[in-house]
Amino acid sequence: MRIAVVSESSADEAAVKILVDAIVGSETEIVALRTRPNGWPHVLNLLPNIVIRLHYGTDVEGLVVVVDSDESPVHENLHEQEQAENPECRLCLLRVALRSALAKVNPLPNRRAMKTALGLAVPAIEAWYRCGLDPHVTEFEWVRKLQGEILTYDKRSLKISAYGSDPSSNFHRTEVGKQAALRLATNLEQLEQRFPNGFGALLRDLQHW
Amino acid sequence: MIKSIHFQNFKALRDATLPLGPFTLIVGPNGSGKSTAMQAFSFVQRANIYDYDKIVTAGLPEPSDVEVQFTDDVTGRTTSAVLHHPDWQDEDPQPPEEDPGSLHDPEEDVNYLSPFETALASFKVYSLDAKRIAQPVGIDSVPELREDGFGLANVLDDLSDQEPERWEALNHELNRWLPEFDHVTFERAPNSTKSFQLRTAFGHHKYSASDLSQGTLFAVALLTLAYLRKPPAIVCFEEPDHGIHPRLLESIRDAMYRLAYPKDFSGNREPVQVIATTHSPYLLDLYKEHPEEVVIAHKDELGAHFERLSEKPHITELLKGAPLGDIWFSGILGGVPSSP
């Protein structure tokens, strides 16, 4: 299956591909799409263009988007209810943008509707990499930090924990990310328990493919 | 004006056509044929000086000619250069094809170049080098800006002597680009060389070219080219944004437009055909309204090839909403590296 992965770096993309393969149960072929580093607004702005390009110009069957939540609100079940999207939640914003973009493309002969899956790494993908290694790194904990509590970790310390230093080379981040994703792929339930809304959303979308 | 250049077995350009307009900005990954395309201009003049083995596309299934063909937008005529495989050069030399664009004077028995050939012969590929721009030049040397920027002091001095109005306009524009400076001045050394200086707007201190930053030197060279009285008919810029602050990129674009569209800047000289290459999404952002001026260089298993942005399917929809630089960077348009 050919899929497109939208991510902020090639390191993230390599890890996401391993997780996607584990969830869908087969190896995917990736069309890589990137945004400029730290480019949340770019992802949101580009999503309609990406959908148009993939729909009309490729045979890609699925689109996966994974973004960091950074300091934005963490997605929660409440947002899933009709008309209850949080305008500051990145997952909600991506869903609205994606729905709107997909509604605008015209059906093509021999072209099935593109499958989509959206994930939110809270606060960054390195938090997923710590799953199984550090029980304090969870979505719930991060929500407490957003509410003003002092946590034992932040985005930078997550990177240092994952890669040994910050900054680190893209090659090193890719290798670490791949190793972490291979480990996580053996226990997706635990990753979903620790990150029920950000990773859980991705998992549930992909399980419907 | 050159309408297009077709490449056959020319380095990474195995079978590619580069479409051109009055101004063309080429974007693409490293090794996608952007710089190779610039080499076409010298190849068409002197194909015989090239080493076949170094210029032919690597890995061709059978021995083949190397060919570059330019097409004139006005007459539709073509001018080409062919480098034959070495075996064929020895065993079966082929006479050069007569170019229908060349004019022959039987009384003098000489060939005159057609206007198109004359334009092709007058090309420069500027790949600027800060040290060469700042280097002092001989007082009596010909005022000519070399492709690495050497000779700038002489060119500026000549402009100040020969074209006082153009010279003052250049200084005015310099102050707009770099507000800390208001004028170019010159210093002469005892060894009969001269170099240029920039005078500060406040205090009128003079900074020697050798003390100026790389970006400032590049900006002065690009600005000077835009104000030349008789620029080359065809000008190529390799990475004109190199070393330039992103806020100055609009001025760099305008300098290139000044060359390409002189009437839009109240100029009275012939338009220069401008070709530029870049990797900068910031520079590309400035061309969103003119996709016909942008060419995407792609690289795949069949080699490098070119595509005019305005001719991509669904381009109007693809360009909506986001900056062009972002859209290109994402990979939606192609012209990005296939691996990190």
Tens digit of pLDDT at every position of chain B (340 positions): 999 999 999 999 999 999 999 999 999 988 888 889 998 888 888 888 889 999 999 888 888 899 999 999 888 888 888 998 887 765 544 444 544 445 445 566 655 667 777 888 889 999 999 999 999 999 888 999 999 999 999 999 999 999 999 999 999 999 999 999 999 999 999 989 999 999 999 999 999 999 999 999 999 999 999 999 889 999 999 999 999 999 999 999 999 999 999 999 887 889 999 999 999 999 999 999 999 999 999 988 778 899 999 999 888 888 888 889 989 988 888 888 765 4
Does B319 contact A at CB distance below 8 Å?
Answer: yes
- Going B288 to B292 to B297 to B298, the CA torsion angle's sign is positive
Q: Who contacts A131 (Cβ-Cβ below 8 Å, separation ≥6)?
A: A137, A184, A190, A191, A194, A195
Taking CB atoms and an 8 Å cutoff, what residues of chain B touch A34? Answer: 329-331, 336
Residue that has been written with the tokens 């930078």 in this structure? A156
CB atoms within 10 A of CB B16: 23
pLDDT, residue B109, reads: 61
| 8 A C-beta contact, residue B57 and residue B67 | no
Distance of CA A82 to the CA centre of its chain: 22
Tally C-beta pairs within 8 A across A and B. 58
- What's the CA angle centered on B123, arms B156 and B26, to 5 degrees? 100
Q: How far is B300 from chain A, CA to nearest CA, in Å? A: 14
Q: How far is B239 from chain A, CA to nearest CA, in Å? A: 20
Whether ipTM > 0.90 holds is no
pLDDT along chain A (209 residues), means of 10: 88 94 93 76 88 90 94 90 88 95 90 94 96 95 92 92 91 95 97 97 96
pLDDT, residue B98, reads: 47
Contact assignment for B318 to A45 by CB distance below 8 Å: no
Does A151 contact B at CB distance below 8 Å?
Answer: no
Taking CB atoms and an 8 Å cutoff, what residues of chain B touch A3? Answer: none
- Mutant choice from B279, B326, B327, B339 vs A, greatest count of A C-beta within 10 A: B326
Q: In chain A, what are the domain boundaries?
A: 2-207
Distance of CA B206 to the CA centre of its chain: 31
Structure tokens at B250: 């609009």
Contact assignment for A48 to B320 by CB distance below 8 Å: yes
pLDDT, residue A164, reads: 93
Three-state DSSP class for B239? coil
Does B320 contact A at CB distance below 8 Å?
Answer: yes
Structure tokens at A204: 């549930």
Of A49, A170, A174, the CB nearest to B320: A49
Closest CA to B259 of B24, B101, B47, B32: B24
Residue A49's identity, in one-letter code, is: N
pLDDT, residue A42, reads: 83
Of B314, B319, B332, the CB nearest to A50: B332
pLDDT, residue A85, reads: 85
DSSP label at residue B228: -
Taking CB atoms and an 8 Å cutoff, what residues of chain B touch A169? Answer: none
Nearest residue of A to residue B337 by CA position? Answer: A32
- Going A95 to A151 to A177 to B338, the CA torsion angle's sign is positive
Contact assignment for A33 to B331 by CB distance below 8 Å: yes
What is the secondary structure of chain A as a DSSP string? -EEEEEESSHHHHHHHHHHHHHHHTS--EEEEEE--TT-HHHHHHHHHHHHHHHHHH----EEEEEEE-TTSPPP-GGGGSTT---TT-HHHHHHHHHHHHHHHSPP-TT-PPPEEEEEEESS-HHHHHTTTT-TT-SHHHHHHHHTTPPPS--HHHHHHHHHSSSS--HHHHHHHHHHHHHHHTT-HHHHHHHSTTHHHHHHHHHHT-
Of A10, A45, A57, the CB nearest to B321: A45
CB atoms within 10 A of CB B230: 9
